[in-house]
């Protein structure tokens, strides 16, 4: 969700007590968040999968499905596995806390809880998410950098180093790796993994900071650089081998990523290689 050009963080609040739930929803809304309320476990799981909130805050003792089972179910689904989960509960026993952490909870707050304490816990989780996204974004920039020293990085790039290790979208990257040299699109990837294109775009961008299409292009550019350096194939043939039916489209994307044409890139890097042999 966007507000005046700024991304507003979604927070799912799960609590069967209307007064408590509405109070936290109101306070979070006043602080600029986009809170979503859920009164029981069934509604909570449904909203978690539909809304893909940035954080989930849940009571433990709630109807239909309790907080522990909500956490367990969401941790088993690829779309919601990554969402930070904070318990905000009246349960104060050490056994409860231990069970929550063993199930994968990110934090455990005990009622009554001040707004400041809750906001601090939220801020810590959001900051960790930002750090993760920035890490993958910087990694992506390095991989698309046109000023690589000779062809060292190009030759060393493999599937494991190209794609981030994110279990929730590993099938996406496996499909791209196996089919990047075909005319695949976002829709093809979405069908393969069983998601809608819109949902998949949101999921991959949320986890890696880049879109599915950007990862497809990255994989193709790496393959193209390798072929430009290691073979004498015509650029038009290389375009076809890395998944482009339209050579003009390949030229355009190559220039966007490298600031020069495939021909010029090949000549400059081969010249550089010969000088330092």
pLDDT at 233 (0 to 100):
93
Helix (H) or strand (E) holding 240: helix 235-241
The 10 Å CB-count burial string (b at 16+, else e) for 29-66 is eeeebbbbbbbbbebbbebbeeebbbbbbbbbebeebb
Give phi and psi for 17, each to the nearest 5.
-85, 115
SS3 of 37, please? strand
Which fold is adopted by the domain 144-275?
Arc Repressor Mutant, subunit A (1.10.10)
Mapping DSSP to helix (H, G, I), strand (E, B) and coil, where does residue 171 land? helix
Question: Residue 127: exposed, middle, or buried by beta-carbon count in 10 A (0-12, 13-18, 19+)?
Answer: exposed
pLDDT of the chain along its 277 residues, tens only?
A: 544 445 789 999 999 999 989 999 999 999 999 999 999 999 999 999 988 898 999 999 998 899 999 998 988 776 787 788 999 998 878 888 888 877 878 889 998 888 899 999 999 888 876 766 665 556 555 555 555 444 444 444 444 457 887 888 889 999 999 999 999 999 999 999 998 887 888 788 777 878 898 899 989 998 999 899 889 999 999 999 999 988 889 998 888 877 788 988 888 776 444 443 4
pLDDT at 4: 45
Domain extents in the chain: 2-130, 144-275
Contacts of 133 (CB under 8 A, 6+ apart): 206, 207, 208, 209
What pLDDT does 150 receive? 42
- Helix axis angle, 212-230 relative to 170-179, nearest 10°? 40
Report yes or no on whether pTM surpasses 0.85: no
pLDDT of residue 169: 87
pLDDT at residue 173, as a whole number: 93
Q: What is the DSSP string of 175-226?
A: HHHHHTTS---HHHHHHHHT--HHHHHHHHHHHHSS-HHHHHHHHHHHHHHH
Superfamily of domain 2-130 in CATH is Response regulator (3.40.50.2300)
């Amino acid at each position: 969700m966007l507000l005046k050009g700024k991304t507003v963080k979604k927070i799912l609040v799960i609590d069967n007590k209307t007064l408590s739930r509405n109070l936290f929803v109101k306070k979070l809304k006043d602080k600029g968040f986009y809170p979503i309320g859920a009164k029981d476990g069934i509604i909570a799981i449904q909203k978690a999968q539909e809304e893909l909130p940035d954080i989930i805050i849940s009571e433990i003792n709630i109807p239909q499905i309790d907080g522990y089972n909500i956490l367990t179910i969401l941790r088993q689904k690829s779309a919601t596995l990554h969402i930070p989960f904070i318990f905000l509960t009246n349960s104060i026993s050490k056994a409860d806390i231990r069970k929550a952490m063993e199930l994968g909870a990110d934090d455990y707050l005990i009622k009554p809880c001040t707004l400041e304490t809750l906001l601090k816990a939220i801020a810590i989780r959001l900051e960790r998410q930002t750090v993760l996204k920035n890490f993958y974004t910087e990694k992506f920039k390095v991989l698309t950098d046109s000023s690589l020293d000779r062809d060292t990085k190009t030759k060393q790039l493999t599937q494991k180093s190209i794609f981030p290790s994110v279990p929730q979208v590993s099938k996406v990257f496996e499909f791209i790796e196996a089919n990047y040299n075909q005319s695949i699109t976002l829709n093809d990837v979405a069908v393969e993994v069983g998601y809608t294109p819109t949902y998949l775009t949101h999921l991959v961008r949320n986890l890696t900071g880049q879109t599915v299409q950007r990862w497809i292009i990255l994989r193709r550019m790496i393959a193209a650089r390798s072929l430009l350096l290691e073979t004498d194939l015509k650029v038009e043939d290389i375009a076809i081998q890395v998944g482009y039916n339209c050579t003009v489209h390949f030229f355009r994307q190559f220039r966007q990523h490298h600031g020069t044409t495939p021909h010029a890139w090949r000549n400059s890097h081969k010249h550089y290689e010969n000088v330092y042999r």
